[in-house]
Structure 1
Amino acid sequence: MRNPLSVVLLNWRDMNHPEAGGSEKYLSEVATGLAARGHRVTIRTAAYPGALHRETVDGVRYVRRGGRYGVYLRSLAALGLGRHRADVVVDVQNGVPFLSPLVRGGNPVVNLVHHVHREQWGVVFGPAVARAGWFLESRIAPRVYGRSRYVAVSESTRDELGGIGVDVDRITVIHNGTDAVADEHVSRADHPVVIVLGRLVPQKRVEIAMQAVRDLAVDHPDLELWVVGSGYWDTELHRVADELGIRDRTTFTGHVSEAEKHRLLAEAWVLALPSLKEGWGLVVVEAGVHGTPTLAFADVGGLNDSVRDGETGVLVHGGQAEFTAALGALLDDDAGRTALSERVVEWVTRFRWSETVTRWESLLHAAAERREDQPRPGDNRVGGHREADH
């Protein structure tokens, strides 16, 4: 049996952060899963109002220092000063990299990437910052992590990383899992309900779903839209709802509990996911547990991996008009929607957090043992490595 590892994970937010999303859910599941298996796990993340600077939850030690950007410098300083004795450090690169290899002296670092942010820089920032951010992500990070292992959450993300110069032989794909949820007492709504779930930020493009609901309301007078989640774009979306005249059929729930989230997903007819970019789309499999199919755009990275077009959901080629037409077709086709529902339930059974944690555990042991040696050709899967000596 392998010895327990000491693992430090660096991310700009934790699961309880007001702006937490799928990336934080993924990290939380991996961290708690590793801790439950006896590993010493620390998450360094940003501080935020109401959060303790240090605490231990579900066996995971949390250290919160720095703000949205200060967390990067504070984390690097802590590693450089030797405040964490880690067998492996995991950087979570959400656009901006932590660049831990600069202070790790060749000791193991794994870089976790959910998706490449090429399109998103210009949506969130002005031109100058967008260019600098993209340069950091696409030119600097691949060099700094040149001897590190990468983890991508989808095959599409792996391919995108390869496109910016990352050696694909160093990339392991480890998918999201999903929760096992009992919803036998939750019934599908008796009228059409479209749900949008996620952080309320511009790149999620919730406005596309709102426009579609407005256009379809003529033929579906009882159509509702549930916007579930929180974020700084909330006020703008309320304004759009008023402007479109759909405020009376749109419910903004704000942040909800996990139980409430799953209840809403189980009741909805369709999950609308018009996002500009997703590395995988955790909400796709969360909805799929309840037999709720997803409608999304075909040119959005990891959604091509999590949604099987025509089998577990629908991927749209085009823009607003095509999205609206596809949503209308789903709402009108009870038999087709039922078939999608049955197939998506079967599809998501292959994604379990326990398997995600097992693959991470194997990869981290391999990284600790090999000390970032050069990978063997084609070695982009975990397994088959020698046992640790320590």
Structure 2
Amino acid sequence: MFLNWRDTRNPHGGGSEVYVEKIAEELIRRGYLATLFCAAHSEGPADETTAAGLRVLRRGGRHTVYLWAALTYLLGVLGFGPLSRRGGRPDVLVDVGNGLPFLSPLWCRRPVIALVHHVHREQWPVVLTPRLARIGWWIESRLAPRVYRKCRYVTVSAASRDELAVIGVDPERVTIVHNGTPEMAPAAPVARTPEPSLVVVGRLVPHKRVEMALDAVAALSPQFAGLSLVVAGQGWWEDELREYAEGLGIADQVRFAGFVSDEEKRVMMSEAWLALTPSLKEGWGLTIVEAGAVGTPNIAFRGAGGVEESLVDGQTGLLAEDHADFIAKVRLLLADDALRIEMGSAARAHADRFTWESAGEKFAALVEQPRVGGPGASRVGTTHSPGAVDARLQDVLGHLFLVHAARRRLGRAGEAVDQRRRTECAQTKGDDPGQEQRKGSAHHVTPPRSL
């Protein structure tokens, strides 16, 4: 069973959710049963089975899904609910940590694999006040490594593995399983736009720093007639980005496409001259290889995590050192047709190296040996006496309510900060966009095993 606070149908879903569901689908193809437990939202029912066979359970909300996951699992131990033996008990849990973890080793007697796309040190100050950012960072960097100290880890890049080592996770316990590159060829041939064009694809939140792409359009428009930008994605920061574009005087050159289908994304990336990834941090940079798969080179930032692996600097795109260098590199590739085409060809070859089939194969090997120390250390099939369950419920719920309270407090504080920043943004349109961010049932193949 995968624990992730979002799924791909969630309006705020992103690359992390694509990764989880693609890996789950690959495991299903290999004979496993897989369940995804995530937060409820308006775009999906409480219980669903996808076309690929992935069972999705949606419970709780953004701040309560962690508590709901524990309660649903423990009720299943007692024989109630969708995770009872009749409903399908999981053999292995994959606990996806997006800053705040589910802390499943506290309440689950099955093997747990911790999946971390990247460490969020830089993101905490962007969305929270300094004091609450320190609380969030303490949970991620101190509490979580202790809770998961006997678990195997999976991450998506060498950069993220190194970040985990800094917070005390032994690299020997960390396996890198890269993202695969999805099929990106459009249904019909697509030509590049006749005039210079840029595309940004991702969630519209502050740490994605879409403002820097808007700055590039404003700075380079005098040199490149007809320069345009498509921003594909949705998020609570969209209004601020629209206002920022208006303040720069480029609103008519920027199209906010909102949520787009896979086919629409393929067409957008195929039409664009360049794709931009100004994000502060990415565990991998899925959109970089997606753009590369259609021959579109990318410009991102050095030191932004896994982008230094999804993008090969000087070959499949360019890595910028700072804001000014970002604009300079966009200028370079827009002006040099031969270099841009050469990098696009290299990007296509690089993207072809990564497949979901190979990623699924590697993940399946971990599922077969999920505990540190090998199969002998596994507790698959452990039973729970009623007395033991009652005692464990009391112990676990105490921990969970503390973490739940912290999560709600962090969430409320984040919403307050969001509102304050909206006000500040309206008052200070035209300022450096980076300034504010810098301040701050379970069986094996015969029968199948359940996740």
Residue 322 of structure 1 corresponds to 325
Query: Hey, what does 1:377 align to over in structure 2?
Result: none
CA contact (8 A) 1:147 1:372 kept: no
Amino acid at match of 2:201: L
In the alignment, structure 1 residue 361 sits paired with structure 2 residue 354: no
SS in structure 1 of the partner of residue 318 of structure 2: strand
Matching of residue 61 in structure 1 with residue 64 in structure 2: no
**Aligned mates of 1:281, 1:367 — CA distance in 2:** 26
Asked if the contact 2:195–2:225 (Cα under 8 Å) also holds between the matched residues in 1, the reply is no
Equivalent pair of 1:114/1:152 in contact (CA under 8 Å): yes
Q: Give the match for residue 370 of structure 1.
A: 375
- The structure carrying a bigger helix percent of its residues is 2
- Structure 1 segment 134-149 matched on structure 2, within 5 A: 134-149=137-152
Give the superposition deviation at 1:256.
0.6
The aligned amino acid for 2:137 is: W
Following the alignment from structure 1 to structure 2, what is the Cα–Cα distance between the partners of residues 168 and 62?
31
Provide the residue aligned with 1:203 in structure 2: 207
C-alpha contact 1:89 1:109 (8 A) present in aligned 2: yes
Which of 35, 38, 43 is 2:31 aligned to? 38
- CA change 1:371–1:149 in 2 (3 A) is farther
Q: Report what 2:270 is aligned to.
A: 266
Give the distance between the partners of 2:168 and 2:377, measured in 1 at CA: 18
Query: Offset at 1:372?
Result: 4.7
**Residues 108 and 371 in structure 1, CA contact (< 8 A), matched pair in contact too:** no
Name the % identity.
Answer: 46
Distance 1:53 1:336, change over 3 A: same
Provide the C-alpha distance between the structure 2 equivalents of 1:372 and 1:189, rounded to a whole number of angstroms: 57
TM-score of the two chains, using structure 2 as the length reference: 0.79
Partner of 1:380: none
Of 21, 39, 52, the match for 2:14: 21
2:157 matches 1:154? yes
Matched length: 368
Query: 8 Å contact 1:212–1:320 — kept in the other structure?
Result: no
**Structure 1: distance between partners of 2:290 and 2:67:** 34
CA contact (8 A) 1:149 1:372 kept: no
The structure-2 alpha-carbon separation of the partners of 1:316 and 1:144, relative to structure 1 and needing over 3 Å to count, comes to same
Equivalent residue number for residue 304 of structure 1:
308
Secondary structure of 2:190's aligned partner: coil
The Cα of 1:182 is off from its aligned counterpart by: 2.6
The CA deviation string for residues 20-42 of structure 1, in whole angstroms up to 9 with x for no partner, is: 10000111111122223221111
CA RMSD of aligned residues (A): 1.7
Contact 2:276 2:299 in 1 (8 A): yes
**SS in structure 1 opposite 2:256?**
strand
Aligned to 2:386: none
- What is aligned with 1:346? 349
1:38 alignment partner, SS class = coil
Higher RCO (Cα < 8 Å, 6 or more apart): 2
Indicate if the aligned counterparts of 2:184 and 2:290 stay in contact, CA closer than 8 A. no
The one-letter amino acid of 2:158's match is E
What whole-Å deviation, never above 9, does each CA across 1:324-364 have from its counterpart, x for those lacking one?
A: 11110110011110110111111111101111111111110
2:412 paired residue number? none
The superposition leaves residues 151-182 of structure 1 with CA deviations (integer Å, 9 ceiling, x where unpaired) of: 01001000000010001110000000011233
Aligned-partner SS, 2:107: helix
Query: TM-score, with normalisation over the residues of structure 1?
Result: 0.91
1:52 is aligned to 2:45: yes
Secondary structure in 2 aligned to 1:367?
A: coil
Matched position secondary structure for 1:40? coil
Which SS does the other structure have where 1:325 is aligned? helix
- Contact 2:192/2:270 (<8 A) preserved: yes
Mapped contact 1:97–1:141 kept (Cα < 8 A): yes
Q: Report the equivalent of 2:104.
A: 100
User: Does structure 1 retain, via aligned residues, the 8 Å contact 2:10–2:43?
Assistant: no
Partner Cα separation in structure 1 for residue 14 and residue 253 of structure 2: 25
- Contact 2:9–2:43 at 8 Å: present in 1 too? no
Deviation digits for residues 301-330 of structure 1 (CA, Å, limit 9, x no counterpart): 11111110000110011x221111111011
Partner residue, 1:79:
73
Q: Runs in 1 of length 4+ with deviation above 4 angstroms?
A: none
Q: Is the 8 A contact 2:98 2:116 kept in 1?
A: yes
Residue aligned with 2:231, SS: strand
- 1:249 matched to which residue of 2? 253
**What CA distance in whole angstroms lies between the structure 2 residues aligned with 1:263 and 1:194?**
13
Residue matched to 1:168: 171
The AA in structure 1 aligned to 2:46 is H
Post-superposition offset of 1:371: 5.8
CA distance in 2, matches of 1:252, 1:178: 25
1:117-128 → structure 2 map (5 Å cutoff) = 117-128=120-131
Shift of 1:55: 1.0
CA distance in 2 between counterparts of 1:181 and 1:64 reads 29
